[in-house]
Amino acid sequence: MWRDPSLVALLVSVLFAILASVFSAKYYYVKGKASQLNALISEVAKAWEDDTLTQEELCKILKLIKQLVSK
């Protein structure tokens, strides 16, 4: 029964399809959060360069933190 290559290929394909559907949503969620974290780190680095934190920079950083923490 398990010696038939077409049956094994079919079962592996079905398994990969199920795994892809389950993990694709999580992948895009994590990818989005990583992008938000990258934007936050970039903004903090820009604010750090001039050794002063303006009101505009602070608002932008807080906005990015809220986006990162929210679902």
What phi and psi, each to the nearest 5 degrees, are found at residue 52? -135, 145
Q: What are phi and psi of 2, to 5 degrees?
A: -80, 0
pTM: 0.68
Q: Is the pLDDT of residue 1 over 60?
A: no
pLDDT tens digits, one per residue of 21-61 = 888 888 899 999 999 999 999 999 998 898 888 999 999 99
